[in-house]
Chain A
């Protein structure tokens, strides 16, 4: 979405007497570089490889790139990586689903009725000021150190951004649409379905993007607490044995999970907000 306009067709030739205007010097950043996004990461990996090859980087500090690649291959061949990935993905997915459901339900209750708002909004706002991760000690006492605690911790982290953004989306639906629905004489259920939910959709989807990040953050933390499986467990174990190659593989998997989840939300956004896309462009 570059706003810099190219005017190659009117660029003057030297000595051209017809075109005597002053062509302004460009002050903006100029044309986009193709695949520009990848230049930085590739440079970094190159530097890493160079430092490893010359011995400037001690393998105990950081494994060589090729070791990381072969370790990844070994981990995949032994099935350890997939196994841990599935465990982590299920954890994050369950927590995300639970949190999204709870956050949406609370937002709808509090967004649609003043009584609901009085009951729900206060506690959620208070909860919001306590980072979910600070609740882990209490959750461990209540739920033990098993899967429940992990999933609930993730869900708590997810529910808040979903609630905040959906609630905001509900409240900013223009009053005039409510008035229209009143004059048309539709019932409350139809009103919620036709006006409230689609109107709150942009807010909800924004919340979802934050929620996906929150889920991954919580996942990383809970997996380092007494976990016996999962990517985080794999990383913690590798840390004990000084296996930086395994740690890097784990981090790459986390990054891939994050990018994948964000991409998925973007696709949902594009599908659900067609009416908005035409507005924007």
Chain B
């Protein structure tokens, strides 16, 4: 497995966010002066509690926040692809037509076919989106993103709606695809394990700023059995304000109850 060199090998960054502010109302900002750099080909996972501004940041980078008040600078590459939590396949287009949606030229169909083969959907080109399972739909959505050869891939909880087994398969697939195409990636997720398995760096967002920025130095296969994996997990959960150990937290809860 290729090592994730991340930003170390490249001098210029793919993404540069400086002093980004965004707010939906006057009461308080969602993003409060956020700074973020992502190197070319680097895989960054963004975690944080609900309302910490993860999606707002992603939408700002995708250019989907026209109506949101704020200031600050965001620099992203020209070719950006977005993967949403739902596959967003147009139900009236067959799978291949969805993958090549918006692409021109005769080469488009051939590229689309290759992308579908890459995500393991060979032979399903003529299927309607409804005929695919949830995991297959999301794979088609991945193919649609990658066929455009993005320099930056923005993924907003792309596996959030999938079952646990499908999710594991998608992790393997996404890692393989990213190693082959080397886009910079920003993955928004709720799932700490997912972040550790996939990312070169995990960024914890809190109250609209980067609370911590943790490099994942696991080499080789990333296994939850690895003690370093467990250590990272505990640390990230602590950053999110969650106790990792169920037994401990249960004991504490009951202990407190007994005491009171």
Contact = CB atoms under 8 A, between A and B. Distances in A.
B149 interface: no
A180 B62 CA distance: 11
Interface stretch (B39-47, B80-88, B221-229): B80-88
Given A183-B80, A278-B128, A278-B131, A177 B88 contact: yes
Contact of B84 (A180, A190, A275, A279): A180
Nearest to A183: B82
Interface residues of A, number: 21
A275 B82 CA distance: 25
Interface string B131-168: 10000000000000000100000000000000000000
Interface stretch (A58-66, A194-202, A209-217, A258-266): A194-202
The 8 A-B residue pairs with the shortest CB-CB distance in the complex, in nearest-first order: A198-B92, A186-B102, A183-B82, A184-B102, A180-B88, A279-B130, A275-B92, A275-B128
Interface string A138-165: 0000000000000000000000000000
Instruction: Please tell me the size bucket of the interface on B.
Output: 20 to 34
Nearest to A185: B102
B17 to A, nearest CB: 18
A184 B90 contact: no
Nearest to B91: A275
B8 interface: no
A85 B92 CA distance: 38
Contacts of A274: 128
Given A177-B90, A194-B90, A275-B91, A183 B64 contact: yes
A278 to B, nearest CB: 5
Nearest to B79: A185
A179 interface: yes
A198 B128 contact: no
27 contacts: A176-B88, A177-B90, A179-B84, A180-B82, A181-B102, A182-B63, A183-B62, A183-B63, A183-B64, A183-B80, A184-B101, A185-B102, A186-B102, A190-B102, A194-B90, A194-B93, A194-B101, A195-B90, A198-B90, A201-B92, A274-B128, A275-B91, A275-B93, A275-B129, A278-B130, A278-B131, A279-B128
